[in-house]
Amino acid sequence: MSREPVPIMAAGSAISAATIGRVRQQLVARVPAEILNPFGRTADDEQALRDAIKAILDDPELELSSTPALVAAVEAAVVGLGALQPLVADPDISDILVNGPDAVFVERRGRLESTDVRLGSSRELIELSERIAALAGRELSVAHPIVDARMADGSRVNAVIPPVGGPYLSIRKFNRLRLDLLPGGRHGRDWVTEGGLSIEMAELLAKLVGARANFLVAGETGAGKTTFVRSLTDHFDPNERVGVVEDTAELDLDNPNRFNLETLHHHDIAAGDAENRLLDVGDLVANALRMRPDRLVVGEVRLPKEAFYTLQALHTGHDGSATTVHASSAEDALFRIELLARQSMHDLSLADLRAYIARVFDVVVVLRRQRSGLRIVRQLAALDGVKRDGEYALTELFEARLGADSAPSWIRHETWKPSARLTARLEAGEDATWS
């Protein structure tokens, strides 16, 4: 059942639900749909939208004065996210977490904090969630009380309403952060200056990318895995063809010769037998190999099938590739991959499986988000096959240590000589030194 729009307050005056409805109708008739979407508007879109609202409010029949405050309030109520719109527009905020109409939290620069933002009621929160779901072509109702959707700009929205719980609303804004590995890069910000890497580590990582090392990037949720992989891909040769496979498009790489494949979930299919048409990361990795990539980037390995196809792809000539996994150490990252792969490669003994994995990955990078919000490379390790006892030959190159002021420092444990495989790749390039 449809509900009437709720009144809004602006400059001390209430604007009726009827007026809100009228403005909405006229906006839909005047403004393209992509500009009405509150996610991913450009500055020009925003200006065009406000000009249109001002023109509508200037209608003498409405008996309103189109002040900037009124225009902003009407925009938020009609085609925005209400009280949440300023949070969506704030570039320093990455996550918006609504636990109720009077409990709105955000993650700002890596730290969770409460806000003074308040919604009028649970009903208003439910209506807002329904409007967001509709923008993604999804239904949020008692019959479908949970929605997980990707918005037009790549942001992720998860909404829950009774009887399951809540109402709750979580918005993870699309991560557009670009960091260079080394200072002086084209993005203007870098891991070294930001405090996430030492200069020695960054130089080694750039050299490893040039040597076409295969990277396994690990970390917990929000540790910066996606941002770090983007930084690595900046060092790919621009003439190389890069294939990107993700469950949800997040990487948004700048490489000129690339293709992007994103999974097809059953709720993305308008018609047909969903189960028969479902495409997952494993399917897309298999297909990506037919599209002639020089390097392959797999967003995250979560399932056995994904582990199987990713290992197969990286083992069959696609050196210089990368993938990520949810883990808190290099050892845990390899164990996670091993555990997943074992379910799809059960015909291999444990020793053979470990040897196989060790032939795929050359470097394991572990990221961590500190309480301060700073994201750092906590561990950098080289994988040089397996030892005689069947354990991984994992050499820890750098480890982050925190001082009294919580500022990280990195300890280099030992001088490392790359494997014959990496050395051969490097010597095929222009720079054959590792110092």
Together in a domain, 10 and 76: yes
Residue 314: which pLDDT band, with cuts at 50, 70 and 90?
confident
CB neighbours of residue 288 within 10 Å: 23
User: Which of residues 116, 139, 174 is at a domain's end?
Assistant: 174
**Does residue 186 lie in a domain region?**
no
- Which pLDDT value is given to residue 421? 73
Regarding pTM above 0.85, the answer is: no
Q: What is the DSSP letter of 80?
A: S
Task: Evaluate whether residue 182 is within a structural domain.
Answer: no
* Same domain, residue pair 18 and 140: no
Query: Are residue 73 and residue 92 in the same domain, yes or no?
Result: no
Strands (DSSP E) found in 111-255: 111-114, 146-150, 156-160, 168-172, 215-219, 242-246
Residue 409 belongs to some domain of the structure: yes
Q: Quick one: 198 and 316 in the same domain?
A: yes
What does the angle CA 96 – CA 377 – CA 212 come to, to the nearest 5 degrees? 110
Q: Examine the domain organization and report whether 230 and 299 are in the same domain.
A: yes
Is 434 a member of any domain?
no
Over residues 336-382, the pLDDT tens digits come to 999 999 988 888 899 999 999 999 999 999 999 888 888 999 999 99
| Higher pLDDT, residue 232 or 420 | 232
Q: 65, 80, 95 — which closes off a domain?
A: 80
Once rounded to an integer, what is the mean pLDDT over residues 413-428?
73
**Residue 266 maps to a domain:** yes
| Two tokens, residue 390 | 């069947």
Question: How many domains would you assign to the chain?
Answer: 3
**377 exposed, middle or buried (CB, 10 Å; 0-12, 13-18, 19+)?**
buried
Query: Above 80 in pLDDT, residue 266?
Result: no
Are the beta carbons of 99 and 158 closer than 8 angstroms? no
How many whole angstroms separate alpha carbon 27 and alpha carbon 30? 5
In a domain? residue 184: no
pLDDT at residue 271, as a whole number: 41
What confidence tier does 8 reach under pLDDT thresholds 50, 70, 90? low
**pLDDT-derived band of residue 428, with 50, 70 and 90 as boundaries?**
low
- The confidence band for 221, taking pLDDT boundaries of 50, 70 and 90, is confident
The answer, yes or no, to whether residue 85 has pLDDT greater than 70, is yes
Residue 180 lies inside a defined structural domain of this protein = no
CATH code of residue 94: 3.30.450.370
Same domain, 170 and 203: no
Cα gap 359→26, rounded to integer Å? 62
Q: Are residues 264 and 300 in the same domain?
A: yes
Single out the residue in 80, 98, 131 at which a domain terminates.
Answer: 80
Mean pLDDT of 52-62: 84
- Structural domain of 16: 1-80
Query: Is-contact 207 431, C-beta < 8 A?
Result: yes
- Residue 381 sits in a domain whose CATH number is 3.40.50.300
Assess if residue 300 is contained within a domain.
yes
Tell me the C-alpha distance between 175 and 122, whole Å: 29
Same domain for 219 and 312, yes or no, is yes
Residues 212 and 70 in one domain: no
Quick: pLDDT tens for 377-409: 999 999 988 998 889 999 999 999 876 556 788
Examine the domain organization and report whether 25 and 110 are in the same domain. no
Give me the helix-helix angle, 350-360 and 330-344, nearest 10°.
Answer: 120
Calculate mean pLDDT across residues 228-240. 93
CB neighbour list of residue 422: distance below 8 Å, 6 or more residues apart? 208, 211, 213, 362
In a shared domain, residues 257 and 149:
no
The first and second tokens of residue 6, run together, are 């709720």
**CA–CA distance, 4 with 347 (Å, rounded to integer):** 61
Residues 195 and 89 in one domain: no
